Amino acid sequence: MSLTLDVANTLTGLTYDDLPSSVRDKTKLLVLDHVGCMIAGSTTRGAKQMTPYLERIDSGGCSTVFGTSFRFHPANAAHANAHSASMLSLDDSYVLFGHPGASIIPAALAVAEELGSSGKELIAAIVGGYEMSLHLGTAMRPSENRDRHVKGYATWQIFGACTAASLLHRFSAIQIADAYGLTPMHAPLPFLRKFHSRPMSLLKNNYGWANKGAITAVDLVRAGFHGNRTIFDGEDGFWAMAGSDRFEPRHMLDHWGERYFILETGFKPYGVCRWIHTAIDCLRALQTRHRFDHADIRGIHVETVSEFVRDFDGPWPQSTIEAAFHIPYALALELHNKSSATGLREDDLADEAVKQTAERISLSTLTGADDKFYAEKLLPARVSVILQNGETLSAEAEIPTGAPGGPAFGQAEVEAKFLALAGTVIGRTNAVRLKEALLEL
């Protein structure tokens, strides 16, 4: 049997009843977190450009577009919702593997609504999506040199959405393999090494298209199309198409039912790139211990991974998307009590006081940080604050808040984050009701 069919067979055996309670509970929290990001993200400039475009080309459907009164075909609803969810940079994170939920949960919710699936079916499908996607990412993880030149998340995470949709449709292993064979024809290229040009694209990782492409592939199987049923096999397998220079097939099948990648997926407390979070954690820790604000600062120096130093500084951001990848801006917001915890705001980009503080923040490469980032998936940062009186305060961190092994960001924090995000759009009472419903899936 081919590797592709082995994976498909493994997935057909996944059931809700076999999932540990910790996995079920984590899945519901991830759904809650993601829906909050969708609702709040629906009000951003990027969503207000994307959703009306999709409305113009959609003839109407049954799937909810969160934060709006629209209902679209599942493929377009998932496209809109995934795009909205990514706009505030608050969606879940798996270090070095991007934001897996954005390429799974929107598709799962849209298809489940179309089919009238049960909560148990939805949870099992989402777990299947996370596990398949992150098994694939682990199997085709490129060398450090290749990663520095070719990178793309939606390129391969599209299979997470495909898996979730296939399971909700109760596909056989052969049908899942067909869907996998069709999915790469709808996958974005690995474009991220060109992402940091200015102006930055509001598409970000293009997870919206990944959801839409995956549902399209599944719908084509339903219409009778066949795909290549050995898409992951051999020297010309998907990993080569996606730009990786190595592939370890056994990682596609190792530890199913033992290790759950979904439990290793982290929640984000700040609305900036996950790679900046350890620097924010360091600054916050110093503020808590020493009680200073922007007026007390002579300067701040951040030492971290060379890639962050190269890409996360530079010109003053002209949009919240660019701001999400700007270390001085993110730290300056914290010092001015304008934290990104509920997302970045366009108005703050014009705040001259924030800009003046950011100009006192410098970056350089931390010795050994690159090895820890590429080899160990850590996010090393050292933040040194020089006060006006000449005193220097320093803090270091390698694992951000909300990531496994880092400072805790548990159920209470996720619920509070959801209410803060959703409540501003749909009202506190509706947000509480929706929270309770999602936690009772």
- Specify the 3-state DSSP secondary structure of 368: coil
Whether 423 is covered by a domain: the verdict is no
Do 236 and 328 reside in the same domain of the chain?
no
Whether 70 is covered by a domain: the verdict is yes
Q: Does 388 have pLDDT greater than 90?
A: yes
pLDDT of 1 reads: 78
Can you say how many angstroms the Cα of residue 216 is from the centroid of all Cα atoms in its chain? Answer: 21
Query: Bridge-partner residues for 91, per DSSP?
Result: none
Q: Provide the number of structural domains found in the chain.
A: 2
Do 47 and 181 reside in the same domain of the chain?
yes
The answer to whether 327 touches 302, Cβ cutoff 8 Å, is yes
CATH of the domain at 41: 1.10.4100.10
Residue carrying structure tokens 């949009």: 319
Do 195 and 309 reside in the same domain of the chain?
no
What is the overall mean pLDDT for the chain?
97
Taking residues 9-26, report their average pLDDT.
97
The amino acid occupying position 342 is T
- Where in the sequence is the domain holding 23, given as residue range(s)? 3-264
Q: Which of 246, 264, 282 is the last residue of a domain?
A: 264
pLDDT of 60 reads: 86
pLDDT of 412 reads: 98
Do 245 and 289 reside in the same domain of the chain?
no
Helix ranges (H only) for 200-359 are 207-222, 238-241, 277-290, 306-311, 320-323, 327-335, 352-358
CB atoms within 10 A of CB 351: 16
Tokens of 359: 């100009």
Task: Please name which of 220, 238, 242 lies closest in space to residue 230, comparing C-alpha atoms.
Answer: 238
Do 95 and 201 reside in the same domain of the chain?
yes
Rounded to two decimals, the pTM is: 0.97
Q: Which of 382, 397, 412 is the last residue of a domain?
A: 397
The answer to whether 108 touches 95, Cβ cutoff 8 Å, is no
Do 138 and 232 reside in the same domain of the chain?
yes
pLDDT tens profile 190-222: 999 999 888 999 999 999 999 999 999 999 999
Task: Please name which of 267, 275, 269 lies closest in space to residue 196, comparing C-alpha atoms.
Answer: 275
pLDDT of 373 reads: 95
pLDDT tens profile 255-290: 999 999 999 999 999 999 999 999 999 999 999 999
Whether 419 is covered by a domain: the verdict is no
Do 278 and 189 reside in the same domain of the chain?
no
The amino acid occupying position 181 is G
Tokens of 64: 């909810």
Whether 256 is covered by a domain: the verdict is yes
Taking residues 107-130, report their average pLDDT.
98
Distance CA 214, CA 170 (A): 15
Whether 433 is covered by a domain: the verdict is no
Do 176 and 248 reside in the same domain of the chain?
yes
Whether 328 is covered by a domain: the verdict is yes
CB-neighbour burial class of residue 7 (10 A; exposed 0-12, middle 13-18, buried 19+): buried
CA angle 257, 260, 264 (to 5 degrees): 170
Whether 437 is covered by a domain: the verdict is no
Confidence tier at 93 by pLDDT (50, 70, 90): very high
Do 248 and 288 reside in the same domain of the chain?
no
The answer to whether 167 touches 128, Cβ cutoff 8 Å, is yes
CATH of the domain at 296: 3.30.1330.120
Can you say how many angstroms the Cα of residue 403 is from the centroid of all Cα atoms in its chain? Answer: 13
Q: Does 180 have pLDDT greater than 90?
A: yes
Do 220 and 367 reside in the same domain of the chain?
no
pLDDT of 139 reads: 97
Q: Which of 210, 231, 264 is the last residue of a domain?
A: 264
pLDDT tens profile 317-367: 999 999 999 999 999 999 999 999 999 999 999 999 999 999 999 999 999
Distance CA 249, CA 233 (A): 8
Do 40 and 123 reside in the same domain of the chain?
yes
pLDDT > 90 fraction of the chain, expressed in percent and rounded: 97
Tokens of 82: 């995934």
Whether 420 is covered by a domain: the verdict is no
Residue 366 neighbours by CB under 8 Å, 6+ apart: 303, 304, 305, 380, 381, 382
Residue 23 neighbours by CB under 8 Å, 6+ apart: 127, 260, 262, 263
β-bridge pairing 63-64 and 297-304: unpaired
Do 365 and 325 reside in the same domain of the chain?
yes
